[in-house]
């Protein structure tokens, strides 16, 4: 059968058998083309990257953990080039079709990871999330998507974009499966707590919109969870646009620091929109970076202070709304990206875990909301999400 190369990579592996029995017996997965498998090349979404890098000498410990827990791998899947995009567009391999909204973007950079699950090809997938690359495609494709705490899952033997923010993450249509997968991958075995209060910042309610807000209020009432509105961000002097710029400054500097030499030689092979992003990143000075890192630390400390209670989580719109149309102009996508990264930067800057929950019965979708907690509270996010949806997804 001919494979859809907009979703699946051709360099292999096509399949990897489970190495032993375990908690994931019979479950199928795919992995993003940023993770290494011994004997195969990692392409990072760009043909020239694939050509200029040797076959991997080792396999990602995440892939090994999945295989050792009984899961079966059904292939390597596409990513936006160098994972430096949230759209899901790849000019070399094509844009995967969003199964829920074929005329809209699938989201990236973990586009193949999301679409393969949304199509029903596999039960779950692993991707990466630096600036939103699990959370955004999960929102666009109607999936649960978990960005764990920074450093929670090992990233050895994988492509690095920006070390201050890179995480591995999990997609699934089924929250129980996502929980099983995370339990197998993470050393975090702490017990879970269902939050009694969800805090929604007033600055996010306009972005959330009336339809999602009504659905969230319905969920919270049914689950017996209090929805509390505060104006914490504005009172602390934080604007989403400033947080987006802060994130992009740290990210851009680290990308050039790590990949500048390769980009000097082969940056011209990237899509024009990504080339523009790279050229902007080259203008960031070391002092700009150091200043941004200092501000990042202060923001993280502030947000941690908002989440000290084990009974409280934040809730927020994962994305501004439904995915942009495929026909959206590049200039409009660039502005949308800036707005979007204001939302994704909360978890990105802090390194805290975030779980996207799809809302399946709203007109302005696919989209949903996210739960955000302090470090290592992934199981609290999952348990609270389960309480909110009560079997709806």
Domains (range + CATH), the chain: 1-393 (3.90.1300.10)
d(CA 193, CA 312): 10
Report pLDDT for 358: 98
Report pLDDT for 1: 66
The H or E element that residue 23 is part of is none
Q: Which residues contact 136 (CB under 8 A, 6 or more apart)?
A: 86, 107, 108, 318, 319, 340, 344
In this structure, are residues 307 and 190 in contact, taking their beta carbons and an 8 Å threshold? no
The H or E element that residue 190 is part of is none
Closest CA to 254 of 348, 114, 136: 348
Report pLDDT for 392: 57
Q: 94-134: per-residue pLDDT in tens?
A: 999 999 999 999 999 999 999 999 999 999 999 999 999 99
Report pLDDT for 182: 98
Q: What is the mean pLDDT of residues 292-310?
A: 98
Report pLDDT for 87: 97
pLDDT at residue 333 is higher than 80: yes
Q: Beta 312-317 vs 197-201: how paired, if at all?
A: parallel
d(CA 32, CA 41): 12
Q: 57-95: per-residue pLDDT in tens?
A: 999 999 999 999 999 999 999 999 999 999 999 999 999
pLDDT at residue 192 is higher than 60: yes
Report pLDDT for 364: 87
Q: Is 32 a catalytic residue?
A: yes
User: Would you place residue 20 in the very low, low, confident or very high pLDDT band (cuts 50, 70, 90)?
Assistant: very high
* Burial state string for 317-354 with b = 16 or more CB within 10 A and e = fewer than 16: bbbbbbbbebeeeeeebeebbeebbbbbbbbbbbbbbb
d(CA 337, CA 356): 18
Q: What is the largest CA-CA distance in the chain?
A: 58
Catalytic residue among 109, 172, 186, 386: 109
Report pLDDT for 391: 52
116 burial (CB, 10 Å; 0-12 / 13-18 / 19+) is buried
Q: What is the mean pLDDT of residues 40-52?
A: 99
- End-to-end CA gap in the chain: 31
pLDDT at residue 174 is higher than 50: yes
pLDDT at residue 148 is higher than 70: yes
User: Would you place residue 188 in the very low, low, confident or very high pLDDT band (cuts 50, 70, 90)?
Assistant: confident
In this structure, are residues 118 and 135 in contact, taking their beta carbons and an 8 Å threshold? no
Report pLDDT for 46: 99
Report pLDDT for 393: 46
Report pLDDT for 99: 98
In this structure, are residues 82 and 281 in contact, taking their beta carbons and an 8 Å threshold? no
**Cis peptide leading into 109, omega within 30 of 0?**
yes
pLDDT at residue 56 is higher than 50: yes
d(CA 366, CA 361): 9
User: Would you place residue 302 in the very low, low, confident or very high pLDDT band (cuts 50, 70, 90)?
Assistant: very high
Kindly state the percentage of the chain with pLDDT values over 90.
Answer: 93
Q: What is the mean pLDDT of residues 209-235?
A: 97
Q: 229-258: per-residue pLDDT in tens?
A: 999 999 999 999 999 999 999 999 999 999
Report pLDDT for 115: 99
Q: Is 109 a catalytic residue?
A: yes
Report pLDDT for 213: 97
d(CA 29, CA 40): 18
d(CA 115, CA 27): 17
Tokens of 347: 């978890």
Q: What is the mean pLDDT of residues 219-238?
A: 97
Catalytic residue among 113, 125, 133, 370: 133
Q: What is the mean pLDDT of residues 335-347?
A: 94
Report pLDDT for 2: 84
User: Would you place residue 361 in the very low, low, confident or very high pLDDT band (cuts 50, 70, 90)?
Assistant: confident
User: What pTM does this model have?
Assistant: 0.97
In sequence order, which ranges of 16-110 are alpha helices (DSSP H)?
47-51, 61-68
């Amino acid at each position: 059968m001919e494979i859809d190369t907009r979703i699946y990579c051709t360099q292999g592996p096509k399949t990897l058998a489970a190495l032993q029995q375990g908690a994931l017996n019979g479950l199928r997965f795919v992995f993003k083309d940023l993770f290494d498998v011994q004997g195969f090349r990692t392409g990072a979404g760009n043909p020239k990257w694939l050509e200029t890098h040797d076959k991997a000498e080792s396999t990602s410990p995440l892939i090994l953990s999945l295989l050792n827990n009984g899961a079966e791998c059904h292939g390597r899947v596409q990513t936006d080039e160098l994972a430096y995009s949230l759209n899901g567009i790849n000019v070399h391999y094509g844009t995967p079709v969003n199964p829920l909204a074929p005329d809209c973007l699938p989201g990236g950079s973990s586009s193949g990871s999301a679409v393969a699950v949304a199509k029903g090809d596999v039960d779950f997938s692993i991707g990466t999330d630096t600036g939103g690359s699990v959370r955004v495609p999960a929102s666009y494709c109607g999936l649960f998507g978990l960005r764990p705490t920074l450093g929670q899952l090992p990233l050895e033997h994988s492509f690095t974009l920006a070390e201050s923010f890179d995480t591995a993450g999990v997609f699934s249509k089924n929250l129980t499966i996502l929980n099983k997968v995370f339990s197998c991958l993470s050393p975090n075995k702490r017990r879970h707590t269902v939050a009694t209060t969800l805090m929604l910042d007033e600055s996010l309610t306009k972005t959330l919109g009336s339809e999602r807000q009504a659905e969230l209020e319905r969920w919270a009432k049914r689950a017996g969870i209090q929805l509390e509105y505060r104006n914490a961000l504005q009172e602390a002097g934080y604007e989403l646009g400033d947080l987006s710029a802060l994130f992009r400054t740290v990210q851009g500097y680290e990308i050039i620091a790590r990949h500048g030499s390769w980009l000097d030689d082969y940056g011209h092979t990237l899509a024009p929109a990504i080339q523009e992003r790279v050229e902007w990143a080259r203008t960031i000075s070391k002092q700009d970076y150091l200043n941004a890192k200092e501000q990042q630390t202060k923001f993280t400390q502030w947000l941690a202070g908002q989440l000290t209670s084990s009974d409280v989580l934040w809730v927020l719109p994962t994305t501004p709304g439904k995915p942009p149309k495929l026909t959206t102009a590049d200039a409009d996508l660039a502005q949308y990206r800036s707005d979007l990264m204001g939302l994704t930067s909360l978890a990105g800057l802090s390194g805290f875990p975030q779980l996207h929950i799809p809302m399946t019965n709203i007109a302005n979708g696919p989209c949903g909301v996210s739960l955000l907690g302090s470090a290592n509270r992934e199981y609290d996010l999952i348990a609270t999400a389960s309480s909110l949806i009560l079997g709806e997804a």
